[in-house]
Amino acid sequence: MPSFYVSDPIHPQVLDTLHERGEVHLGYGPTATPYAAVQSRVDAVMLRAERFTADKIQASPRLKIIARHGVGTDNVDIQAATDAGVWVTVTPGSNARSVAEHVFALALALARRVPAATAGTAAGQWAAIKPVLTGIELHGRTLGLLGFGRIASLTAGIARGFGMPVLVSDPYVAPDTVEQYGARLVPLDDLIAQCDVLSLHAPLTAATEHIIDAAAIARMRPGTVLINTARGGLVDETAVLAGLESGRLGGAALDVLDGESTDMQDPLPHSPELAARLGSLDNLIVTPHIAGQTTQSLLAAGTQALACIQQALAGQDPEHAVNTVSAAA
């Protein structure tokens, strides 16, 4: 009977299937089992936020696959997995619509000043705050998409429903691909200077780290709204806070933080300046990396990850692998 380790909550239907097919160890909840306690007998890992380092992989003699419940692999040592003959897989597209919709949840919340309205109402200031909570409409505002993969293309489609012109900057996408979504491909500098709402959808690389810094914010239109549901490292958080305080940024909504590169479980302590401003800036929204977390996306991602696990345990090459494992490994 195979042994499974599940790092974080997954869809109940997928968890039930795992229980039917083997021994399941949960790394979360009131009866959480640390991975170190079961690493000697785990055959497959379904992984969300927990970090999987070389030490964990090397201490897992039976491990055949780390199935990421999502598309990012920042928390997996892929080289160590490859060296140990362990597959690493992802679940492409499983949460794309969820993230795209969250972009607009954040954009609307900032545009209509929902956090400030909620806080004021809860404080009994209904009449006092109403006159100062005039929002803006998204219709006619230009949406800028930095990066144009699955999520960004869905975001562009939603924007058309709002009547928003869409600009895209992505060095790896052809103009005709972008035009199919009613958008226009432009250089990065033009994107930054010409949009009213800027949504980030790029991978985190050496070239994109802190791509939104003080210089980029200085080139934006006054009142531009920044949304990041991609990777925290794309944004210089200190520069964003300064932009909010100066009024250059009209608002910022971050579902991901730079501190996740250090601690994916709770990155806020690693972004102390941002954490300190959460209560004082009513045009700053921070959500705990939940853009891709809906009932539908959890089921889709879990189902894909489970299929990859079944293939690997059957001795097959799993779909959506990000590494190559030799039979001799």
Residue 185, CA distances (Å) to 153, 189, 219, 309 in order: 12, 12, 18, 39
Active-site residue flag, 50: no
- What residues are paired with 145 via a beta bridge? 168, 199
Q: Which 8-state DSSP code applies to residue 158?
A: H
Q: Is 289 one of the catalytic residues?
A: yes
Q: Are strands 197-200 and 224-228 parallel, antiparallel or unpaired?
A: parallel
SS3 annotation, 34-87: CHHHHCCCCCEEEECCCCECHHHHHCCCCCCEEEECCCCCCCECHHHHHHCCCE
Four-CA torsion 98, 104, 110, 112, nearest 10 degrees: -120
Beta strands in the chain, from DSSP E residues, in sequence order: 3-6, 23-26, 44-47, 65-68, 87-89, 143-146, 166-169, 183-185, 197-200, 224-228, 249-254, 284-286
Would you give the DSSP letter of residue 164?
-
Query: In Å, how far from its chain's centre is CA 301?
Result: 14
**260 catalytic per annotation:** yes
Q: State the amino acid at position 187 in one-letter form.
A: P
Among residues 11, 69, 201, 231, the one annotated as catalytic is 231
User: Active-site residue among 68, 102, 141, 289?
Assistant: 289
End-to-end CA distance of the chain: 22
- Taking the C-alpha atoms of residue 311 and residue 95, their distance in angstroms, rounded to an integer, is 22
Residues in CB range of 109: below 8 A, 6 or more apart: 115, 253, 285
Q: What are the catalytic residues?
A: 231, 260, 289
